[in-house]
């Protein structure tokens, strides 16, 4: 399995995001796609499926959210329970739901749920998105327009490219028992990757807990740190790049 890259291997940006640079000097990628390698983990599908039980994955957007009843509201309520109630983040809240300026028609919400209970989720947003003065979280932090977030969240200039998507608000609900937690983490990461790839992404910039290296090894996911660790209300996060597809695939 691929191991996460060391800090010094994260430079320069052209090695991480070759489609943002002239490609003349870049060697061809391997024949086996990064996504195939990452999800060779699907080989243990039967064991994980037994742990997933009746968990379903639903991707919501502004076009289809009316088809899924109160699922979006429950997802935003769960985000509040985690990011505001437990982690004490000073972020937007209305009527028991957490939200911010990036919950727009440009985003997708990937939600895991079981028997009406939301147990995991992640928000996806193309780095080419724009809503008023805002683009996406990492770029806006780098530009200095997000109070409470440092500007050195990335080691390179934040990309604006439809092939690069940002993943944020990644969570597994506290109600998920430890015996199921890794299977749920894997399923959420898998669904996130499938959705981003369907949207045209070949890479995902993720804002993840600073212990990301530990769970990425458990999941067999190759990733590279691409920014300094930073604190939000006492909890530490880091920017990480996931290559999910070779551009030649």
**What pLDDT is stored for residue 49 in this prediction?**
65
**What pLDDT is stored for residue 44 in this prediction?**
53
**What pLDDT is stored for residue 159 in this prediction?**
96
Cβ-proximal residues to 36 (8 Å cutoff; 6+ apart), any chain: none
* Other beta carbons less than 10 A from residue 22's beta carbon: 8
Ranges in the chain, pLDDT < 50: 1-34, 36-37, 40-41, 43, 248-249
Global pTM value? 0.79
Q: pLDDT tens digits, residue range 68-116?
A: 999 999 999 999 999 999 989 889 999 999 999 999 999 999 999 999 9
* DSSP letters for 204-225: EEEEEETTHHHHHHHHT---EE
- Strands 164-172, 203-209: pairing is parallel
**What pLDDT is stored for residue 219 in this prediction?**
65
Q: Which residue has the tokens 């109160």?
A: 70
**What pLDDT is stored for residue 117 in this prediction?**
96
């Amino acid at each position: 399995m691929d191991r996460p890259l060391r800090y010094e291997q994260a430079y320069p940006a052209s090695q991480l995001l070759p489609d943002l640079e002239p490609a003349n000097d870049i060697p061809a990628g391997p024949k086996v796609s990064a996504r195939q390698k990452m999800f060779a983990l699907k080989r243990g599908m039967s064991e994980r499926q037994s742990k997933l039980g009746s968990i379903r994955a639903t991707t919501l957007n502004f076009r289809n959210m009316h088809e899924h009843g109160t699922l979006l509201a429950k997802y935003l309520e769960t985000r509040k329970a985690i990011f505001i109630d437990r982690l004490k983040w000073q972020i937007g809240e209305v009527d028991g739901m957490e939200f911010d300026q990036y919950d727009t028609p440009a985003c997708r919400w990937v939600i895991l749920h079981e028997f009406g209970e939301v147990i995991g989720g992640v928000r996806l947003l193309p780095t080419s998105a724009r809503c008023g003065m805002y683009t996406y979280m990492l770029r806006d932090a780098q530009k200095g327009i997000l109070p409470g977030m440092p500007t050195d969240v990335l080691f390179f200039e934040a990309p604006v490219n439809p092939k690069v998507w940002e993943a944020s608000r990644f969570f597994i609900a506290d109600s998920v028992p430890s015996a199921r937690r890794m299977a749920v983490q894997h399923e959420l990461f898998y669904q996130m990757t499938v959705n981003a790839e369907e949207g045209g992404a070949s890479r995902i910039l993720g804002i993840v807990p600073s212990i990301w290296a530990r769970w990425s090894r458990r999941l067999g996911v190759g990733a590279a740190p691409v920014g300094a660790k930073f604190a939000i209300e006492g909890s530490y996060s880091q920017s990480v790049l996931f290559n999910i597809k070779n551009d030649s695939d």
